[in-house]
Amino acid sequence: MRAHARWPRRRPLRTRLALACTAAVALVALGVSAAAFSIVRYELEHQLDLHLTQQATLLQQQYRDQGPQVVYGECNYLAAPACTQIVPADPGKDPAQPYLLPVTPATRQVAARQRAGYFTDIVIGGHPARMLTTPMTAAPAGARQAVQVALRADTVREGVQQAGELMAAVAAAGVLLAAALGYAVARTGLAPVTRLTRTAERIAATRDAGLRIELPPGRREDELTRLAGSFNTMLGELEQSVAAQRRLVADASHELRTPLTALRTNAELLSRADRLTESQRDRAAAALRRQLREVTGLVNDLIELARDEEPQPLLEQVRLGALVTHCVEAARDHWPAVGFTLEEQAGERGVPGVPARLARLVSNLLDNAAKFSPPGGQVEVWLTAGLELTVRDHGPGIAPEDLPYVFDRFYRASAARALPGSGLGLAMARQIARAHGASLTAEAAPGGGALFRLRFPG
């Protein structure tokens, strides 16, 4: 059923290509044959006409030298030398014998100098012949005559016919060759497309993004290879994204297990509240609330993290100065024990972005800084005109061995495990930064503490 359904879809392109190639090559073969034929025919006929002109000139010469005794030629066999006759303009002066070559009013006109000489195709004694009628210039003044010269044209006709047959055979062979070539070209030319189609169909059927199109060995850079290459790149990205999503789901369910177990324990504990003392009940309720908050935060972070690129319509010019000021004020409210300082360089331009997401990024950095600050510590925030935001705290800083991993999902340095958090904040922050084309890096601040640097492209 599938193979049956595939045919009508694949056939037209190949057939169309084969037909187009055949038509093009056949047209060239026919054109070249036709041109060659006309040239050969023209040359052969031209030769004959030249020959006739020569004969006529010769005749005039003889007439001039020897007088008008060569009035009639030998026309019986009509072979070389030419058959000739002289025709006066006035029919009254015609000789007694009948003319051997056809005499028409046009002949008389040429004799009377009323018209230029001309060539005609005639038939004499069943043979094709060519005749030149031209004024007799050698005749004495007043004797207005035309001279007619005829030559047999059999050989020329045969030659033309032979050339015609030969060229027709060449053209036919050309068309056959064209058909074969067209088929071959369509076949080899479309082979990569066939491969591409087959791979695409297999992927659609198996949903296996790990499949790739085989590229021909040796880097041939044609459009199809490039197409296959970009198709493979696309597949690679798809595979990566699928793997990333799977990893996220696996990590998330793993990370959710511990807080959910704790939640359940506390919930079960509270379901037997009648057997607990007042303080035990309060403690369990407080723990339950805290754990619920944590799970809610975790789930929110996960949702945020699983989001794709920014949808284009939400993009707007964001003024970073205002956004950071707002975030710092919110952090001051949230962390009253920590001091925040903000230094802003004037002349800042806007960046294209989604304000809510950028605010989330900045808040994450500020929350981390405050969370790891000692009581009464200072968090310093700088925003430079070069579109660089740095957040620096005076906490324990990040150990060099943790530095490469702090942006990984669920990664928390062992020193941080005692503090609330999920380890998703920085992963999300970096994802938001990347979606905005910005870079987010962490480093050890000179003199202790951590320093995060968010840099937008200039």
Ligand X SMILES: Nc1ncnc2c1ncn2[C@@H]1O[C@H](COP(=O)(O)OP(=O)(O)O)[C@@H](O)[C@H]1O
Binding site for ligand X (CB under 6 A): 368-369, 372, 393, 395-398, 402, 406, 411-413, 416, 421-427, 450
Show contacts with Mg ion in window 100-139 (CB under 5 A): none
Instruction: Residue 423: name its binding partner from ligand X, Mg ion, none (Cβ under 5 to 8 Å by kind).
Output: ligand X
Closer CB to ligand X, residue 210 or residue 404? 404
Residue 265 parent element (H or E): helix 223-271
Closer CB to ligand X, residue 86 or residue 391? 391
Shortest distance (Å) from residue 326 CB to Mg ion: 19
392 burial via Cβ count (<10 Å: 0-12, 13-18, 19+): buried
Query: How many angstroms separate the CA atoms of 457 and 388, rounded?
Result: 9
Closer CB to ligand X, residue 355 or residue 396? 396
- Read off φ and ψ for residue 441, nearest 5 degrees: -130, 160
Residue 368 interacting with Mg ion (CB under 5 A): yes
Query: How many angstroms separate the CA atoms of 291 and 260, rounded?
Result: 8
Closer CB to ligand X, residue 63 or residue 372? 372
Query: How many angstroms separate the CA atoms of 287 and 285, rounded?
Result: 5
Shortest distance (Å) from residue 445 CB to ligand X: 9
Query: How many angstroms separate the CA atoms of 75 and 84, rounded?
Result: 7
Shortest distance (Å) from residue 333 CB to ligand X: 19
Instruction: Residue 390: name its binding partner from Mg ion, ligand X, none (Cβ under 5 to 8 Å by kind).
Output: none
Shortest distance (Å) from residue 236 CB to ligand X: 28
The CA distances from residue 94 to 97, 108, 112, 143, in Å, are 8, 11, 14, 12
Instruction: Residue 450: name its binding partner from ligand X, Mg ion, none (Cβ under 5 to 8 Å by kind).
Output: ligand X
Closer CB to ligand X, residue 163 or residue 427? 427
Shortest distance (Å) from residue 358 CB to ligand X: 16
- Provide long-range contacts, Cβ within 8 A and 24+ apart, for 20-23: 20/182, 21/178, 21/181, 21/182, 21/185, 21/186, 22/175, 22/178, 22/179, 22/181, 22/182, 22/183, 23/178, 23/182
Residue with smallest beta-carbon separation from Mg ion: 425
Q: Build a one-symbol-per-residue string for 393-422: x at contacts with Mg ion by CB under 5 A, - elsewhere.
A: ----------------------------x-
Instruction: Residue 406: name its binding partner from ligand X, Mg ion, none (Cβ under 5 to 8 Å by kind).
Output: ligand X
- % helix, strand, coil for the chain, step of 5: 55, 15, 30
At 188, the amino acid letter reads T
Number of C-beta neighbours around residue 313 at 10 A? 6
Shortest distance (Å) from residue 291 CB to ligand X: 15
At 181, the amino acid letter reads L
Residue with smallest beta-carbon separation from ligand X: 421
- Work out which of 425, 431, 449, 456 binds Mg ion, going by CB under 5 A: 425
Calculate the CA 267 to chain-centre distance: 62
Question: Which residues make up the interface to Mg ion (CB under 5 A)?
Answer: 368, 421, 425
